[in-house]
Amino acid sequence: MKVVIQRVTKASVTIEGEKVASIENGLLILLGIVNEDTLEDITWLSNKIVNLRIFGDENEVMNRSLKDTNGDVIVVSQFTLQASTKKGNRPSYIKAAKPDVAIPLYEDFVNQIEKDLGKKVQTGQFGADMKVELLNDGPVTIIIDSKNKE
């Protein structure tokens, strides 16, 4: 399971002209899932994300977490995070999990973030053509792969 986390002052997701998610201060999380991902990956990743100290304290030092700041979250599924660009110029998405595997894991990930954060998380729509808009704060962008936790 791979995520790109972006600290934002605002973010939104629009599908077919309709805004389906919108937050102010918090995180936009892009999530890519592979067949080998498990509930263990979800638990580890969610805990890491909500406790990651990437928000400024009173001295503007990145010392506060999403939990500390009561920040909001949007989670967007993005199979292209699992692209392989090793050969040729056309990315291969063979590692990305198919919907029958990915959708339940995506939903479990959202539920785990909500549980760990103690509040509702907004989402895009799995498999939809989404327009994602954000104002990256910092900019702070971090990539985490649950397969590299050791």
* Three-state secondary structure call for residue 51: helix
Angle between helices 99-117 and 39-51 (to 10 degrees): 40
The catalytic position among 9, 38, 80, 141 is: 80
Q: Do you find a cis peptide bond into 91, omega within 30 degrees of 0?
A: no
Give catalytic status of residue 123 as yes or no: no
CB count in 10 Å sphere of residue 36: 12
Q: Do you find a cis peptide bond into 139, omega within 30 degrees of 0?
A: yes
Question: Pairing between strand 18-23 and 55-56?
Answer: unpaired
Residues taking part in catalysis: 80
